[in-house]
């Protein structure tokens, strides 16, 4: 019996890794084909309706929205969409599919606000779970007394709604993405990075507790102290180990105003030097990002409607046509009563930077307005019919030591203008911030060989290292995001094929020049590329998959593991 069970374990492992097998041999490239008999999906779905007792609804009509996402390139129609009212709806569905065993090809994908880029939230002829439906039936619970204030929310809740509710209590989450109309579960399954990450780490660093439904249908509460392996697995786990259904998000006292600043550089080395100085200094700005502008005209005129310029006469003499320039975007948060002191602080901080002084633009906005700034652009694009177009985005994490080589090979060469969408670029330092104490290194620390203050000890390890997120090995790395929009039916430089070709060339440069980059929001079509992406973490990733989703039921759109179907 033990030998038979071991064989079954090996076969299941081979199945989720996409291998072929026969009764006596398991191999990665053999000619032995697996048996493939399974129930037709319409029969399976019909059975689901009869067997499951759901509080929510399982819909079969008007479900085409579940075959679309923000990337608008992949369209896989599911067989049904579940609109859950409780976590037990989700648990019951997964448990039923799991109990069917490998004789069913049915898969399940959670879908938040549908902002995935490559069909990751889709499940071809499977079941898509509408996570926002879960949020509608669950309230936010604020716990703001004590040393660690937090909000307990549904994973289907949008960050913009959490922000608005939190501000009513005088608090706010610590870490954000640039776009807030995303669900908690969606960003925690990736990482959640923006200009606050150098200070607070990504969003996955600011979670105390999770409720997760595993690939076997088990509902598990987990944290760093309880079921810690599952907790680490699902954070940045690309939906492979379980569906996050609730989360406790860390809060901090909220500011109500923001000084929002933009300045320009014409020299990339100076630009990156200033960015790195800002993220490694105590008492710096609260938000540090940047973007690249190639062969763009009228940049400063476009900013005048939202920003005040310090020296309009000098700014009129600044010309960017034909040039590659770099914008540093920084912000300082404050309370209204501290406005005078914050102006003095900003003046001191700016005096240490080496930007073009004629390009200083400052705006004063509310905290809510600043964090929701991208949504304003979204509404404008929707009015022009330019939002629901293909978005062939490419997000890369580039080590600090390689960023200048990367810039030399890409900016002005592969990319000769930035008319198809913004290019973000900014550094983070995953070693400096202590996410447990919410403090900068000022005691119990050592100086690194580069003179930077580094934490040490049990609670001084910067970004959480046991999550499933993959980053470059160096402590400081840059996020470089090519956020292109493609015009439908265009065969020109704004067409989908042209932009995809550019992305391919950028990735080829990273490969041939050995720049040691990692993709953020990664997408690969073959498992060998996923192995390379995870590197030394691959074996642990596979172990976690087999532990928590042994039949590879969850999130097939990532294309990491394929649910094989067979009679054992």
Using one digit for the tens of pLDDT, what is the confidence trace for 463-512?
888 999 999 999 999 999 999 999 999 999 999 999 999 999 999 999 99
The 10 Å Cβ neighbour count of residue 273 is 14
Is residue 273 within 8 Å of 176, Cβ to Cβ?
A: no
Residue 180: C-alpha distances to residues 160, 262, 455, 484 (Å): 5, 21, 31, 19
Angle of the 268-279 helix axis to the 403-410 helix axis, nearest 10: 140
Nearest one of 245, 258, 229 to 339, comparing CA atoms: 258
Number of helices (H) and strands (E) in the chain: give both, helices first. Answer: 18, 23
Residue 68: C-alpha distances to residues 63, 78, 119, 389, 557 (Å): 10, 11, 7, 11, 12
pLDDT at 43: 60
First to last CA, the chain: 15
Q: What is the CATH number of domain 42-131+544-558?
A: 3.30.43.10
Mean pLDDT across 353-363: 94
Q: What is the CATH number of domain 135-253?
A: 3.30.465.10
Q: Catalytic positions, please?
A: 115, 178, 289
**Angstrom distance (rounded) from CA 417 to CA 407:** 14
42 band by pLDDT with thresholds 50, 70 and 90: low
Half-sphere exposure of 281 (CA within 13 A, CB side): 15
pLDDT at 317: 67
pLDDT higher at 384 or 396: 396
Is residue 239 within 8 Å of 120, Cβ to Cβ?
A: yes
476 CB-contact burial (10 Å; exposed 0-12 / middle 13-18 / buried 19+): buried
271 band by pLDDT with thresholds 50, 70 and 90: very high
Q: For the whole prediction, is pTM greater than 0.85?
A: yes
pLDDT at 454 over 70: no
- Tokens representing 403? 């960023």
Q: How would you write 108-160 as a 3-class SS string?
A: EEEECCCCCCCCCCCCCCCEEEEHHHHHHCCCCEEECCCCCCEEEEECCCEHH
pLDDT at 41: 60
Tell me which fold the domain 257-434+469-521 belongs to.
Answer: Vanillyl-alcohol Oxidase; Chain A, domain 3 (3.40.462)
Q: How would you write 233-259 as a 3-class SS string?
A: HHCCCCCCCEEEEEEEEEEEECCCEEE
- Tokens representing 363? 């705006």
Residue 152: phi and psi, rounded to 5, are: -100, 115
pLDDT at 296 over 90: no
**Angstrom distance (rounded) from CA 239 to CA 235:** 9
Q: Any idea which of 32-46, 110-124, 140-154, 496-510 has the lowest mean pLDDT?
A: 32-46
> What are the structural domain ranges in the chain?
42-131+544-558, 135-253, 257-434+469-521
């Amino acid at each position: 019996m033990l030998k038979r069970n071991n064989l079954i374990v090996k076969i299941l492992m081979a199945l989720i890794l996409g291998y072929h097998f026969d009764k006596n041999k398991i191999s990665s490239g053999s000619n032995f084909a697996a048996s493939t008999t399974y129930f037709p999906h319409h029969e399976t779905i019909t059975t689901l309706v009869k067997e499951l007792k759901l509080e929510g609804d399982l819909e079969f009509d008007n479900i085409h929205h579940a075959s679309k996402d923000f990337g608008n390139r992949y369209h896989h129609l599911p067989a049904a969409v579940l609109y859950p009212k409780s976590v037990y709806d989700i648990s019951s569905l997964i448990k039923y599919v799991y109990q069917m065993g490998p004789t069913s090809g049915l898969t399940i994908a959670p879908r938040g606000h549908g902002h995935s880029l490559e069909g990751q939230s889709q499940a071809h002829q499977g079941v898509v779970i509408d996570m926002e439906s879960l949020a509608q039936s669950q309230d936010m619970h604020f716990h703001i007394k004590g040393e660690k204030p937090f909000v307990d929310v549904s994973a289907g809740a949008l960050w913009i709604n959490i922000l608005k509710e939190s501000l009513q209590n005088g608090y706010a989450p610590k870490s954000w993405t640039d776009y807030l109309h995303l669900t908690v579960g969606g960003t925690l399954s990736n990482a959640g990075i923006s200009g606050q990450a150098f200070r607070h780490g990504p969003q996955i660093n600011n979670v105390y507790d999770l409720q997760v439904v595993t690939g076997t249908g088990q509902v598990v509460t987990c944290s760093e102290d309880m079921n810690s392996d599952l907790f680490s697995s699902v954070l940045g786990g690309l939906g492979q180990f379980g569906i996050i259904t609730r989360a406790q998000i860390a809060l901090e006292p909220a500011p109500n105003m923001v000084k929002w600043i933009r300045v320009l550089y014409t020299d990339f080395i100076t630009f990156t030097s200033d960015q790195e100085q800002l993220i490694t200094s105590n008492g710096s700005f609260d938000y540090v990002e940047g973007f690249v502008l190639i062969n763009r005209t009228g940049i400063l005129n476009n900013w005048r409607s939202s920003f005040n310029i310090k020296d309009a006469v000098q700014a009129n003499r600044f010309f960017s046509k034909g040039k590659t320039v770099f914008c540093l975007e920084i912000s300082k948060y404050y309370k209204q009563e501290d406005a005078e002191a914050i102006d003095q602080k900003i003046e001191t901080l700016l005096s240490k930077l080496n930007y073009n002084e004629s390009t200083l633009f400052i705006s004063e906005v509310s905290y809510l307005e600043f964090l929701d700034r991208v949504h304003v652009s979204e509404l404008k694009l929707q009015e022009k019919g330019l939002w629901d177009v293909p978005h062939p985005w490419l997000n890369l994490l580039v080590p600090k030591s390689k960023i200048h080589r990367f810039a030399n090979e890409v900016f002005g060469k592969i990319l000769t203008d930035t008319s198809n969408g913004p290019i973000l670029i900014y550094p983070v330092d995953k070693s400096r911030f202590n996410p447990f104490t919410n403090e900068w290194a000022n005691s119990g620390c050592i100086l690194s060989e580069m003179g930077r203050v580094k934490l040490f000890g049990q609670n001084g390890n910067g970004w959480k290292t046991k999550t499933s997120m993959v980053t470059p090995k160096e402590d400081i790395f840059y996020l470089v995001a090519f956020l292109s929009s493609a015009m439908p039916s265009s065969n020109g430089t704004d067409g989908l094929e042209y932009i995809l070709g550019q992305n391919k060339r950028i990735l080829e440069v990273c490969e041939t020049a050995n720049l040691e980059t990692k993709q953020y929001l990664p997408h690969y079509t073959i498992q060998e590329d996923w192995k390379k992406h995870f590197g030394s973490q691959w074996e642990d990733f596979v172990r976690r998959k087999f532990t928590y989703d042994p039949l590879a039921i969850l999130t097939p759109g990532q294309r990491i593991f394929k649910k094989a179907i067979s009679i054992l």
